[in-house]
Structure 1
């Protein structure tokens, strides 16, 4: 077993866009209706959760569900070196413009990484709300043909329970296939992400805050994708059926929802899901568009 370390870094180098990265990507997809409650404590880091400029429905738009993703990414090449990442894109948000028009865009609500250089640059370049975390992979090497367990912990070394875990089982009898995120546009699904301004964290020179909205168009491609089964049973014994979840309601009231709890990560989510591995994938992140909402 191996846990990727969070290194203390200062005087971090700037890495402006565009970025070209290589990685192995594990993808869990899910769908929620427009009436679904967004579990705030799952999709946001506490820093962004308590910043109305990033998470308030009134200031940043209403969650309307749709196709969402959770992605575990192991970057082998990037402008800032190797690192691991958990990214959550829960679906779409309706944004009301100054003229009253409505737009529907996807958003990265939470993203956790294993080193500070990508954290600082991701926040600065694209308003991507990166925060530090520790990643544990069992077995530690990259696995695309055998099961691998992924656990993600808070950066604090005293944190012993993962806030996200998944066990990925490749389906060996199915063939590999090429994949590109751009193909989603043929299904009428936008792959643009529109990110609200970020709050400043501690230390402020690394967990940087921003002032403008930014829209970007990440492109993920690979020649060898394969289907997998993903076991979402969580390791945290405190997360049991019936505990409920904090959710987003009209007016941003945070309430306790009774019913299914967190046993499979997202309230009400079933344990087993079809997912995908992208081997030797490439990710392109270009210059963002600054948007005045």
Structure 2
């Protein structure tokens, strides 16, 4: 029986989440509400990804170096997830995937080659258990943040994300959330459009490879110890997001605050996103995460 089946109350989960960090090996089966906001990263944008593409820790490391991957753009997503059941407990998550990266691989005969894969470059979660496990299991560069969700009478949902790593100047201990949101968004379902079942496994039949290939991560020096580093590359293939009931929605990506100003030059968060974007909302489903395939850094990559 999975540990999540043994948790009988919110208090049980709260005790676990607040306790010592506990390894939770893959595979993971999860339940979640998922909001996917697709967009396109142009080749020109990919050549000069905004600094906000990476957290400060990863942005100053080999993780963001051209030796570990050249951004080429293409299919990209911002994702918001509200996990209600995972091996690491409930948590919220914000994902930025700015498209494909050409990265080094080593062939069977020891020669250096390149492949093209999707990559998560920046991601925030609301608790330390999933932060540590996500970094350790799959090289997912998770950092902590506070999530603020507001449901309105008109049926819309607004979220603001306050990371621990966006203070100015940067606080390497990442001890507390910022007072200023790094990201905000309002999502409202489209009217008169019926829901439909959805699974991301359909992409493989369209010839689209959704595997993530993640470089090794740097280690952060925090009090909670939630930012372990890794030494091997990791490939997450065969992961699936699914829901028996999916629907289309509008995502308002304006980052302007009450003063009418955005925190940086990107009024709609990231190049390729407009003020209003079509989003997909997945209800009553979740995501499956298999164990990663790992390998040493190819010779000559650094």
| TM-score range normalised by the length of the shorter chain | 0.7 to 0.9
The residue that corresponds to 1:41 in the other structure is 51
Task: Give the match's secondary structure for 1:134.
Answer: strand
Shift of 1:175: 0.6
Task: State which of 46, 65, 71 in structure 2 corresponds to 1:56.
Answer: 65
Residue pairs, 1:133-172, within 5 angstroms: 133-139=145-151, 146-155=155-164, 157=176, 159-172=178-191
Against the structure 1 CA distance between its residues 83 and 158, is the aligned structure 2 distance closer, same or farther, given a 3 Å change threshold?
closer
Counterpart-to-counterpart distance in 1, 2:249 and 2:160:
17
* Unaligned 5+ runs, structure 1: 244-260
1:207 partnered with 2:230: no
Q: What's the C-alpha RMSD, in Å, of the aligned pairs?
A: 2.3
CA deviation map 1:19-68 (0-9, x unaligned): 0000000110001222324534322111111112x1111x2111000101
Q: Calculate the TM-score normalised by the size of structure 1.
A: 0.84
The residue that corresponds to 1:20 in the other structure is 29
Task: Give the match's secondary structure for 1:200.
Answer: coil
Report the number of matched residues.
264
Task: Give the match's secondary structure for 2:21.
Answer: coil
Counterpart-to-counterpart distance in 1, 2:104 and 2:53:
22
1:121 partnered with 2:144: no
Task: State which of 248, 251, 273 in structure 2 corresponds to 1:269.
Answer: 273
Shift of 1:9: 4.1
Counterpart-to-counterpart distance in 1, 2:90 and 2:280:
22
Which moves more between the two structures, 268-277 or 59-68? 268-277
Shift of 1:268: 5.7
Shift of 1:238: 4.7
CA deviation map 1:119-140 (0-9, x unaligned): 0111111111110001011129
Counterpart-to-counterpart distance in 1, 2:206 and 2:17:
43
1:104 partnered with 2:113: no
Indicate conservation of the 8 Å contact 2:17/2:88, yes or no. Answer: no
Task: Give the match's secondary structure for 1:233.
Answer: coil
